[in-house]
Amino acid sequence: MDSALIPKGVKRCPLWQFLLFIGAVGIVLLWGVYAMLLCWFKGLNQTNMNDYYGFALWIWADLAVIAVGGGAFFTGLLRYIFGKDELKNIINYAVLIGFICYSSALLILAIDIGQPLRGWFIFWHANVHSMLTEVAFCLSCYFGVLTIEYLPLVLENRQIDKVPFFHHLGHNMHEIMAVFAATGAFLSFFHQGSLGGVAGVLFGRPFAYREGVFIWPWTFFLFTWSAAACGPCFTILVTKITEKVTRKKLVKDNAIELLAKISGWMILTYIIAKTVDTWYWATVTAPSKGFTLMEFYSNNALYGIWILVAEILICGYIPAFILITKKGRKNPLGVWIAIILAVIGVCLNRWVMVLQVMAVPVMTFDHWALYYPSWQEVATTILPVAYGVILIAISYRYLPVFPNEAEMNPIEPLPEEAAAIEPSMAPEQELTPAEA
């Protein structure tokens, strides 16, 4: 029924199956939307946040999706600025994943603020000294860049492409994509860093506070570096999950391997820097405020030293060593383990830099504050995931997201012949169900 919209030379599942899937995920989405409306109409009393936990699950989700969405800017940088041509097979998907991550982050922020209708104050009455201001500006601008990067893909839809204006617009945007990618990388460097700065500048919170260079605490650079390192791992992870679900090979191994290798070296250099930073903080910065390292990791039910071991050793050094070795990259299980650990690692880092910062007591007579999210917070955090799955499903079905898909998954009749067949005659019912 919708075959006229489906890219040429590729198989897609029957429409009913696609709609059934969208419907199922849509129910989760609606659950999230309901919770979102509750928060907007009834206020943030719908959450389990409190005066000790002004920042909680949502801020973590924001930082985490932006970190893993870093794959878009870094892959774009490698593809368009450093000329890594192999990555052209995965760049579309990296951009789509980035687009989902950033739109999700903006949505979560819109729910998270106490007076959503005043959200524009952050731009209008900007305090240029606040890290959050920089985050808001760069995040919004970069979301614009991602939209610009995603748009040509939408314009490549078979029917849209028939309109001469859209055809040329898509072509022209491709032509100067390097300019947009460079702007995106510039913006990303700052907002990823500023998100690190959000915690690093808190000189009233010795657990978060870091020294640094000029106005930027070390966390500024660590966050940018870790997003560039672990973002591509998330891109690979989502690509591999998509391949599993569609039961197709969608991206050539050379693209994945190159990205994995670069990611591996980035993770290694990042985690060495993180180790040095942690060491300096534990032995110099925190003691200068009267704290020992173990005070941050004891006398509470959750935050033990295990979290530091998990973040740095297990989710840092292990994926780095797997991905920098050729043997590791050639081993499918090894790659799976590495990319999952890297993604967990960066999410854990964001958790620690938001939630544990709130939990640690600073005044001597204060106490640890632990928190668990309300269902409204959980639902609104799952909401972007459902939205992402739906957008990926629609994009995959109707847009040429993977340029090599047709070549790697030839269908009968051969693509050349299929192109000659009228869309209405396409043998839809005989196709292998392949959509997700």
Partner 1 sequence: MFPFNFEWIWDMGHTVFMGGLWYALTIIGIGMTYCIIKAAIDASKKNGEHHH
Partner 2 sequence: MKNNLNHRFGMVIDLDKCTGCGSCMVACMAENNVPFRKDESDKLLSITWMRVFRLNNGKPFPETDICYLPRPCMQCAGLHEGHSPCVSVCPATATDYGMETGIVSQIYTRCFGCRYCMASCPYHSRYFNWWDPIWPDGMEKYLSPNVSPRMRGVVEKCSFCYHRYQLAKDKAFMDGGRELKENEYQTACTQACPANAITFGDLNNPDHAVHRMVKPDLEHGGRPQNPHAFRLLERLGTNPKVYYLSSRKWIRHAGDNYLKNEAKMKKPVHHG
Query: Is residue 291 a contact residue for partner 1 (CB under 8 A)?
Result: no
End-to-end CA distance of the chain: 18
Give yes or no for a contact between 87 and 259, defined as CB atoms under 8 angstroms apart: yes
Identity of the residue, 87 or 148, whose beta carbon is nearer to partner 1 in the bound complex:
148
Q: Of 213-272, which residues contact partner 2 (CB under 8 A)?
A: none
Identity of the residue, 54 or 413, whose beta carbon is nearer to partner 2 in the bound complex:
54
Q: Looking at 49-57, 142-150, 310-318, 417-425, which segment touches partner 2 (CB under 8 A)?
A: 49-57
Query: Is residue 187 a contact residue for partner 1 (CB under 8 A)?
Result: yes
Query: Is residue 408 a contact residue for partner 1 (CB under 8 A)?
Result: no
User: In the complex, what is the shortest distance from the CB of residue 127 to partner 1, in angstroms, rounded to a whole number?
Assistant: 8
Structural tokens at position 9 = 């030379």
Query: Is residue 341 a contact residue for partner 1 (CB under 8 A)?
Result: no
Q: Looking at 48-56, 139-147, 236-244, 328-336, which segment touches partner 1 (CB under 8 A)?
A: 139-147
Please tell me the distance from the alpha carbon of residue 45 to that of residue 50, in angstroms, as a whole number. 9
* Residues that contact partner 1, how many (by CB under 8 A): 30
Strand partners, 213: 216
- Residue 369's binding partner, choosing from partner 1, partner 2, none, with beta-carbon cut-off 5 to 8 A by kind? partner 2
Torsion of CA 79, 84, 90, 93, to 10 degrees: -10
Q: Compute and round to an integer the Cα radius of gyration of the chain.
A: 23
Query: Is residue 369 a contact residue for partner 2 (CB under 8 A)?
Result: yes
- Residue 203's binding partner, choosing from partner 2, partner 1, none, with beta-carbon cut-off 5 to 8 A by kind? partner 2
Give yes or no for a contact between 274 and 344, defined as CB atoms under 8 angstroms apart: no
Query: Is residue 130 a contact residue for partner 2 (CB under 8 A)?
Result: yes
Name the phi and psi angles at 256, rounded to 5. -60, -45
Contacts 24+ apart (CB under 8 A), 241-249: 242/93, 242/392, 242/396, 242/436, 245/436, 246/396, 246/434, 246/435, 246/436, 247/432, 247/434, 248/405, 248/408, 248/409, 248/434, 249/408, 249/409
Q: Which of 5, 8, 33, 119 binds partner 2 (CB under 8 A)?
A: 119
Note the residues at the interface with partner 1 (CB under 8 A).
123-129, 133-134, 137, 141, 144-145, 148, 164-169, 171-173, 176, 179-180, 183, 186-187, 190
